[in-house]
Structure 1
């Protein structure tokens, strides 16, 4: 038991803030200073100058290569952003210095320089991860998921309406739990046979009552590579919704993060394909059926949201329009214009067995046109430094508006294609969405109510609502 506790403490160590990144930055800076200062004697100055000249050359070349990969050929489908490019260039510069010192220096200085070469790779990776926010803890590096499995004893299906719940709480006949719970779940796949990994489910305080209210549902998808655990460890979803619940009688949506890809290295396109199986059927049949069977949720599509980040955001702009009777709302951050796993011809052949129409059905603008008109809601967001995603939300948003959707476009200030954009968006949009789905006392669904709540979202300093 003691060893388990030690591992849990290790896995819980945060790697984006606090002492962990500071340790690597201080160690790297200290080594640079020591190697530079101790070579400033007259006979070693020329060697030191050569080492720094090599560092500048390596930094310049390395930074240029990263820029070319990011912005020149857009190798990863999105631009990495200047924060990443500059951090990479600095990493190459420092690496160049240590390599040059390892070659030219002698004695303990050479040993120190050699040790610092791999450490520089780690330090640079730590810095880039701080920008993206993808891995928040040591445990997230190995997709560690300590959450217990949900059981029938965790939730009751003897439900009441939202107004009844509020009356019961006011009358002290029901009391919400102090906090919500994050639990694991194996979602059955009888319709799809899709080989999904386990899902995670967050239950707000009210969902844990003996007679819980029928709550809205948010189905959120991480990016690729990613996992259901990654979604919750990288996003601020629980923090934002916990604050909302504490101010609203324990009310907040139930959040389910299922697996849409079967593994870190696969991209299912969130479609039914010959390559990775029936991901779309899983997300539109098996997942909703499991949620309705096991959780205290509303049956109204207006209370169901599908969303996600990056590939998960793309999936949500495919599935929401194609399945309006299931998901009345879409919340997508930094999504793409179409499923992306190589060229279109390669996807048509490799995923859809040569059926071009099956691929085209998954392109968000095509799905919007095919199911127009619709009264659904679409929240589209992108980091302001992610130029490609900013253009994408304009294109998809315009098409959704033409199709009759209510569209909200958000620019996350100071963010790129990263979890900072997700968290800024969720911080502003989730409370507004909760109100819109009827969780605020006296909340309605009309235009006047939406306009009033929009004023609150527009004052959030982390985002800009685009008109």
Structure 2
């Protein structure tokens, strides 16, 4: 038991802020200062100058190379952003200095310089990760998932309406829990045979009751590489929805994060393909079927949202338009203009057996046109530093408006292709969606009409300092 507690504490160490990144950079700074100061005497100044010149050259060349990969040829499909480029340039500069010092010194100085090389690599990686916010804890590096299985909890399907729930809470016949529960789940795949990894489900306080209300559903997807665990550990979803639930009689959507890729290194395109299997069938038949059979949820598509970040965001702008009978709402952050894994020609051959039409069906603007007109809702967001994604949401948003959708387009200030863009978006989009899906019913019992609360959430979205709502 003690050993398990130690490991749990170790896995819980935060690596994006606090003492962990400070420690690594403090050690790098100490090593750099030691090598510079101890070579500042007259006999070693020339060697120190050479090391500094090598460092400067490495920083310039390394930074230029990262910029070329990021912005020049856009190798990863998105621009990495200047924060990442600068962090990498600084890392190359320091590595250049320490390698030059290892070559040009002797004794303990050489040993220190050699030791600084891997330390600098780790420190630079920690900094880049902190910019993206992808891995929040040590446990997330190994996809550690300590959450109990859903089979350990009895979930009642003896439901009441949201309005009835609110009345029962007001009358003291229902007392919602203070916190929800995050649980792991094996979602069966009878229709698709898709080899998905374990998913995660967050149940809000109201869902834990003996007679829970019929709640909205959010199916949320992490990016690629990523995992269902990553979605919850990197995003503020649970904190935002817990805050909402505490203000609304325990009411919040049930959030399901299924696996859309089978492995971190794979991109299923969220489509039925010959390469990785029937991901679309899994996400639009197996997952919804399991949710409806096992969780206290509404069956109205207007109460169902599909969303995600990066590749998960791309998936949501494919699946939402292609399946209006399932998902009335889409919430996509930093998504691509189309599913991408290589060139279009490579995807058509490698994923769709040469069927170009099957690929084109997955392109969001094509899906929107094919199912127009629609009264669905789409929230599109991108970090302002991610110019590729901001252009993508402008194109998709324009087509969605033409197709009859209600579109909210958000630019996140001082963010790039990172989880900060996700979290700033969720802070305002989740309450807005919750109200729209009818969970503001409890506001009337506190002398604020549902319409008034929706207007308040709209004002909160417009006035939120971290975002700009674009018309």
Match in the other structure for 2:396: 396
Look up the match of 1:27: 27
Match of 1:251 in 2: 251
Corresponding position of 1:159: 159
Deviation at 1:400, TM superposition (A): 0.2
RMSD between superposed Cα atoms in Å: 1.4
1:463 match: 467
- Confirm or deny: 8 A CA contact 2:218 2:306 kept in the other structure: yes
C-alpha distance in structure 1 between counterparts of 2:451 and 2:238, whole Å: 28
User: In the aligned structure 2, how far is the partner of 1:292 from the partner of 1:77?
Assistant: 36
Partners of 2:149 and 2:190 in 1: how far apart? 20
Mapped to 1, the partners of 2:249 and 2:454 lie a distance apart of 21
1:151 Cα offset (Å): 2.0
The aligned counterpart of 2:198 is: 198
CA displacement, residues 27-59 of structure 1 (integer Å, 9 cap, x when unaligned): 001111111011111101111111111100000
CA distance in 2, matches of 1:449, 1:234: 29
CA shift, 1:461, in A, is 1.2
How far apart, CA to CA, are the structure 1 residues paired with 2:329 and 2:152? 28
Query: For this pair of structures, how many residues does the alignment match?
Result: 467
Match of 2:407 in 1: 407
Report the Cα distance in structure 2 between the residues aligned to 1:354 and 1:300, rounded to whole angstroms.
37
Give me the TM-score of the superposition, normalised by structure 1. 0.98
* Pairing of 1:425-440 with structure 2 (within 5 A): 425-440=425-440
Is residue 222 of structure 1 aligned with residue 210 of structure 2? no
The residue number in structure 2 matching 1:3 is 3
Question: Corresponding residue for 1:367?
Answer: 367
Is the CA contact (8 Å cut-off) linking 1:70 and 1:78 kept in structure 2? yes
Looking at structure 2, the residues matched to 7 and 449 of structure 1 have their Cα atoms a distance apart, in angstroms, of: 44
The 5 Å alignment of 1:273-312 reads 273-312=273-312
> Is the alpha carbon distance of 1:407 and 1:448 closer, same or farther for their aligned partners in structure 2, counting shifts above 3 Å?
farther
Q: Deviations over 1:270-323 (max 9, x none)?
A: 000011000000000000000011100001100000000000000000000000
Q: 1:70 maps to what in 2?
A: 70
> Is the CA contact 2:431–2:457 (under 8 Å) kept in the aligned structure 1?
no
The one-character-per-residue Cα deviations of 1:394-419 (angstroms, maximum 9, x if unpaired) are 00000000000000000111100010
- 1:168 corresponding residue in structure 2: 168
Tell me by how many angstroms 1:93 deviates: 0.3
Matched with 2:338 is 338
Helix, strand or coil for the counterpart of 1:465? strand
Q: Which consecutive unaligned segments of at least 5 residues does structure 1 have?
A: none
Q: What SS does the corresponding residue of 1:410 show, helix, strand or coil?
A: strand
CA shift for structure 1 position 441: 2.5
Alpha-carbon distance in structure 2 between the residues aligned to 1:312 and 1:43: 58
Q: Secondary structure of 1:151's match?
A: helix
In 2, the alpha carbon distance for the partners of 1:387 and 1:44 equals 47
SS at 1:176's partner residue?
coil
Cα distance in 2, alignment partners of residues 364 and 455 from structure 1:
29
Instruction: Give the C-alpha shift of residue 106 in structure 1.
Output: 1.4
Could you list the runs of 5+ residues in structure 2 that have no partner in the other structure?
none
Sort the Cα spacing of 1:448 and 1:398 in 2 relative to 1 into closer, same or farther, 3 A: farther
TM-score, normalised by the number of residues in structure 2? 0.97
Distance 1:138 1:427 in 2: 25
Partner Cα separation in structure 1 for residue 19 and residue 442 of structure 2 = 46
Deviation of residue 452 (structure 1)?
Answer: 5.2
Structure 2 residue 458 is the aligned partner of structure 1 residue 454: yes
Tell me, in whole angstroms, the C-alpha distance in 2 between the residues paired with 1:420 and 1:291: 29
Cα distance in 2 between the residues matched to 1:422 and 1:87: 21
Q: 2:233 corresponds to which residue?
A: 233
1:42 aligned partner: 42
Q: Which moved more, 1:406-415 or 1:151-160?
A: 151-160
Offset at residue 449 of structure 1 (A) = 7.5
* C-alpha separation in 1, matches of 2:205 and 2:467: 28
**Distance (whole Å) between structure 1 residues aligned to residue 14 and residue 197 of structure 2:** 25
Structure 1 CA distance for aligned equivalents of residues 428 and 85 of structure 2 = 28
Q: Which residue matches 1:323?
A: 323
What is the aligned partner in structure 2 of residue 134 from structure 1?
134
CA contact (8 A) 1:16 1:129 kept: yes
**Separation of aligned partners in 2, 1:244 and 1:154:** 24
Q: Are the aligned partners of 1:103 and 1:110 in contact in 2 as well (CA < 8 Å)?
A: yes
Moved more, 147-156 or 234-243: 147-156
Distance in 2, matches of 1:248 and 1:323, equals 30
Q: Could you tell me whether the CA contact under 8 Å between 1:63 and 1:92 is conserved in 2? A: yes
Query: What is the alpha-carbon distance in structure 2 between the residues aligned to residue 268 and residue 418 of structure 1?
Result: 21
Contact persistence 1:152–1:294 (CA under 8 A): no
Counterpart Cα distance in 2 of 1:344 and 1:396: 18
Distance in 2, Cα, partners of 1:448 & 1:236:
26
